[in-house]
Amino acid sequence: MSTTSTGELPPGSVAWRVAAVGVGLAVLLGGQLADTNDWFPLGSLSQYATPRSADGSVVMTSLEGTTVDGEVVQVPLSPRSIGMSRAEVESQGQRIVADPQLLGVLARSRQQLHPGAAPLRELRLVRSEHQLHDARVVGPAAVRVLATWTAP
């Protein structure tokens, strides 16, 4: 790195550093304005950026399956369980609701990762909303099935 006789960086060195910072800030701003987790860590990770009211609600997404034996099971939203993280599934929620066949991909992934487990004949994307009062859960959760996949 060359410097001038006074110890300052030459104008060219300053210019490329300023340009690099500008590009970085533009990408971060674009990711925030697009409000998508697809750009993380250069975009919004909104699940951590939203404050919760002590008298609001907490929404939780989950997967619930029914095995070929008729047993209802909770399917963890984790790479070990289905090959995808909770954030990945939640960020694709609208796509899954629009095309429930995408749940079939998760069911097949679960079967590949856990060949000894009973296969799923049905998989549901479920949203539970818990009401809060003074930051404590009050009453039962309001549970809604957003999408259902049934094995062919």
The predicted-structure confidence for 71-81, as pLDDT tens digits, reads as follows 999 999 999 99
My answer on whether 143 and 95 are in the same domain is yes
Q: Are residues 91 and 111 in the same domain?
A: yes
Q: Report if residue 71 sits inside a domain.
A: yes
Residue 126 has pLDDT above 70, yes or no: yes
100 and 32 inside one domain = no
Per-residue pLDDT of 31-69, as tens digits, reads 777 766 676 666 666 655 566 788 888 899 999 999 999
Contact criterion met (CB below 8 Å) for 77 and 62: yes
pLDDT at res. 135: 84
The structural domain count of the chain equals 2
Same domain, 113 and 92: yes
Joined together, the tokens standing for residue 40 give 């993380």
Residue type, 42: L
Q: Does residue 5 lie in a domain region? A: no
Query: Do 106 and 125 reside in the same domain of the chain?
Result: yes
Say if residue 64 is in the same domain as residue 139: yes
Q: Same domain, yes or no, for 70 and 105?
A: yes
pTM score of the predicted model: 0.65
**What would the mean pLDDT of 108-118 be, rounded to a whole number?**
96
**Mean pLDDT across the chain, nearest whole number?**
88
Does the structure show a pLDDT above 90 at 19?
yes
Residue 131 belongs to what domain range? 57-150
Q: What is the DSSP letter of 7?
A: S
